[in-house]
Structure 1
């Protein structure tokens, strides 16, 4: 069965840590693909907010 695990963080290092924790529990052969996305939003004139997200597609 194919499954997905979604991740969403405001900081790229937090995303990296969360994904690595999940990947440690997963056999490498079960990984199908990893998708990564960054979105930048302008909250006001002086502040830009980033959203880092990823999806791991894997076989269970």
Structure 2
């Protein structure tokens, strides 16, 4: 069965740590793909905020 795991973090380093922790549990042959996205939001004070997301597609 194909499944996905989605990660959503405020900091890139936290996302990296969480994704790597999850990947330790997935056999390399079961890994299908990893999708990565960065979003930037600007508030009314012109402050930038970033959101880092990753979706891992794998066989379970």
What TM-score do you get using the length of structure 2 for normalisation?
0.95
Q: Over residues 2-47 of structure 1, what are the superposed CA-to-partner deviations in whole Å (9 max), with x where a residue is unaligned?
A: 0000000000000000000000011000000000000000013341
Judging by fraction of residues, say which structure has more strand. Answer: 1
Q: Is 2:2 the partner of 1:7?
A: no
Q: Can you give the 5+ residue segments of structure 1 that lack an aligned partner in the other structure?
A: none
Helix, strand or coil at the partner of 1:44: coil
Cα distance in structure 2, aligned partners of 1:26 and 1:46: 41
* Residue number in structure 1 paired with 2:55: 55
